[in-house]
Structure 1
Amino acid sequence: MEAWTPATPRGDALRDEAENLLQQLQEHFQALTAALNLKTEEMGNRIEDLQKDVNDLMVQAGIENSLKEQMT
């Protein structure tokens, strides 16, 4: 029975395949991270817009303490 070591052709092929799979995994992970960061940024922007809209509604309703005043 032949040992599978890096010195054998099968060992080289196995190592190359493992490196290829790890590279693909890293690329997928980076793409997922970028997508999540983008979605998080979009969600933050939506929350800020919502806060501004609520503040505007409070001012229109005559509520003295707007969100801006409460934050300072």
Structure 2
Amino acid sequence: MDTQEPEDPGDVLQSKAENLFHELQEHFQALTATLNLRMEEMGNRLQDLQRNVSDLMVQAGIHNAIKEQMVKPSLGNQQTE
């Protein structure tokens, strides 16, 4: 004979809701970890790109010309005061 009492529907619902919440939490943590990793990779790629662009500008002689253009206007402003 089965002597178990029927489960309370409120308890069943609460148990299912808790299971769903834990599953959602696990998925959210996995997604967060994936996004953090990808953002770190993107940051590294951007730093590499900045270094490569700077190297190319130096090789092309543009880097120094840009610095000179930035310095000249600021020197000109100081002289007129």
Percent of residue pairs identical: 62
Which residue of 2 is the match for residue 11 of structure 1? 10
Q: Which has the higher helix share?
A: 2
Normalized against structure 2, the TM-score is what? Answer: 0.67
Could you list the structure 1 runs, at least 4 aligned residues long, displaced by more than 2 angstroms after superposition: none
Normalized against structure 1, the TM-score is what? Answer: 0.74
Return 5+ residue gaps in structure 2 as ranges: 1-6, 71-81
- The structural deviation recorded for 1:11 is 1.5
* TM-align CA RMSD: 2.0
- Rg larger in structure: 2
Return 5+ residue gaps in structure 1 as ranges: 1-7
Residue-pair matches, total? 61
The aligned amino acid for 1:49 is D
